[in-house]
Structure 1
């Protein structure tokens, strides 16, 4: 060991979130040991189950407690009887906004040993990244419900600030420079009269500063169709909070499903901890049965290692996942196998021992 140590807040959440976080931590601890650093875990029971017991997803000083950590590792949340908006606004959104995690980064790719619902598409054609604005936009508390002369109605306001829109679009362009050099912006300016033209104008302004990056704007409905019909035309897709949310789930669906999709809630400046999670839900119907796929959570862990600066370890985790999936000998039921969650996690951890990049190569 060379003294590198990171303090990580682990929030397993509910259902299969608990199952897959156990396996992901197993893999990450092995990667840390092989690459000369240490992960110090502190576990929190913040979850919908906690809400059912206490009436809160996390304590009042929860955000303050998390501020001392280098990273946050979140499992899925969701529990029968607890509405989804409770978990979102009681845990995820307060953390995202308190720590300025304005980038929701969702890489999507067709992994070895898996298949796409799209016919005759190669792994090279099914690889992109969604950059979702994560702190404002359509996810706002401004509005309300009331009853008027014509009956009950609801008003929901969106908030798009110049600073918020510009920084997420600029992040997408900077990312594109490290990839294939293409950015596509999701918009709907032909129907949403104020916020989307505002978004489009800022996109055009930012794009002018990146003449080396090909840029285009595409209406969200046409973009959803392109993602299915011509996914090879997409590299970096940037969208508002709502559009990015929808597109990233669609992208995951065509590249093996949500069980294979990781995500990161990123504070690019590093002034606050970032949070990493799988995209899938808590699936309470299969929780504790040992059949959940831990790959998305493990890949989210690789994203966390990359963000912490442990790039070699992150590459090794990704390679181990790909190697085990390509071999096809250990696979959970959703991948067509009969292995358990623990079997797959153990196999990926063991595959790290064969990685060519170890301490000497870091």
Structure 2
């Protein structure tokens, strides 16, 4: 029996509703594959911030450092500024634990119609590899002359050779196992220092992977092509900002951001990686039992893959997507199932222990 200790951070809103289905699915598939999970829950959230003045305690990172992985629900709530919730929880975890790859698979699934004509199930199957710890999301900068006509804000981007190289190497290695095609998102015609540097380093990595076809696309044109011809893409690698935007756009192209998973990976496994659905806390439906847990369950699949159990991950994903194909879906996808009903359909498809 293989055992893992998982840190659970349900967070805010529907995050508290979608993690229990992911836990149940992990336990069910684990019983079939000789995997046992111990879950430790942490109340880090906007509610904690409002009560105690911090999203997590001062020693929060040390509390989860020894876990095998982190499973996050959602973060964000009205009354707490988004930059407070993000920089008070997610970004410290990503940076302290060197989760430098943000992995976001995107597929058009049977039972989830794409808003694009001609993009049916199986026609779109891509992965966005986003650099996750540097780039445009830096702490360097500030504001001057607040409240005056001359007020200004400066935000500095930080790109390092090491940072670009390691995320590009991950993208090219991934492409070698997939469709052998990498598209690099850039804007080197307008951003004259960081983006030409990005292009140069990505080109160096590409030269070490001659069996992978390489393209370079400016971010504006790439966004248009992702809508006009999403089936042409395999692995897209981009900076923190570009990858963030493209992955949400791609999820919408696939039919719903509500089903999209994400993995914040430390590929070397020196630190725990963190897995999360990307749908947000959805205050408008929180507490109603209507949340779609597929994004959380798919994030658990990414966790299984990362921990070295791809067969269990494939089985869990087949159960989750099989329920959709059989017409069991939540209201956000046009269905009538509630959170519990969809979860039951997934668990029924996993089957009994072997």
Once the two structures are superposed, the pairs formed by residues 181-196 of structure 1 within 5 Å of their partners are: 181-196=180-195
1:91 to 89, 92, 95: 89
CA distance in 1 between partners of 2:229 and 2:118 (Å): 12
Give the aligned partner of residue 292 of structure 2: 293
How many angstroms does 1:122 deviate by?
2.5
State the superposition RMSD in angstroms. 1.2
Give the aligned partner of residue 270 of structure 2: 271
The CA deviation string for residues 27-75 of structure 1, in whole angstroms up to 9 with x for no partner, is 1111111211100000000001110110000000000111010000000
Counterpart contact for 1:27–1:346, Cα < 8 Å? no
The CA deviation string for residues 112-131 of structure 1, in whole angstroms up to 9 with x for no partner, is 11100101123332110000
Segment drifting more, 27-36 vs 151-160 = 27-36
CA distance in 1 between partners of 2:266 and 2:216 (Å): 25
CA distance in 1 between partners of 2:34 and 2:336 (Å): 34
Segment drifting more, 62-71 vs 334-343 = 334-343
Give the aligned partner of residue 44 of structure 2: 46
Query: 3-state DSSP class of the match of 1:151?
Result: coil
CA distance in 2 between partners of 1:253 and 1:331 (Å): 17
Give the aligned partner of residue 252 of structure 2: 253
Query: 3-state DSSP class of the match of 2:39?
Result: strand
Once the two structures are superposed, the pairs formed by residues 85-164 of structure 1 within 5 Å of their partners are: 85-147=83-145, 151-164=150-163
CA distance in 1 between partners of 2:25 and 2:122 (Å): 26
Structure-1-length-normalised TM-score? 0.96
The CA deviation string for residues 270-322 of structure 1, in whole angstroms up to 9 with x for no partner, is 11000000011101121110111110000000110111112211011011012
Give the aligned partner of residue 217 of structure 1: 216
Give the aligned partner of residue 23 of structure 1: 21
Q: Tell me, which stretches of 5 or more residues in structure 1 are unaligned?
A: none
CA distance in 1 between partners of 2:323 and 2:284 (Å): 27
Runs of 4+ in 1 over 2 A off after TM superposition: 122-125
How many angstroms does 1:150 deviate by?
5.6
Give the aligned partner of residue 235 of structure 1: 234
The CA deviation string for residues 2-50 of structure 1, in whole angstroms up to 9 with x for no partner, is x210000000000000001111111111111121110000000000111
How many angstroms does 1:331 deviate by?
1.7
Q: 1:345 and 2:343 equivalent?
A: yes
CA distance in 1 between partners of 2:229 and 2:334 (Å): 27
The CA deviation string for residues 206-259 of structure 1, in whole angstroms up to 9 with x for no partner, is 111111000010000000001000111110000000000000000000102111
Query: 3-state DSSP class of the match of 2:246?
Result: helix
Give the aligned partner of residue 284 of structure 1: 283
Give the aligned partner of residue 6 of structure 2: 8
CA distance in 2 between partners of 1:308 and 1:170 (Å): 20
How many angstroms does 1:337 deviate by?
1.7
CA distance in 2 between partners of 1:349 and 1:274 (Å): 25
Aligned residues: 353
Q: Tell me, which stretches of 5 or more residues in structure 2 are unaligned?
A: none
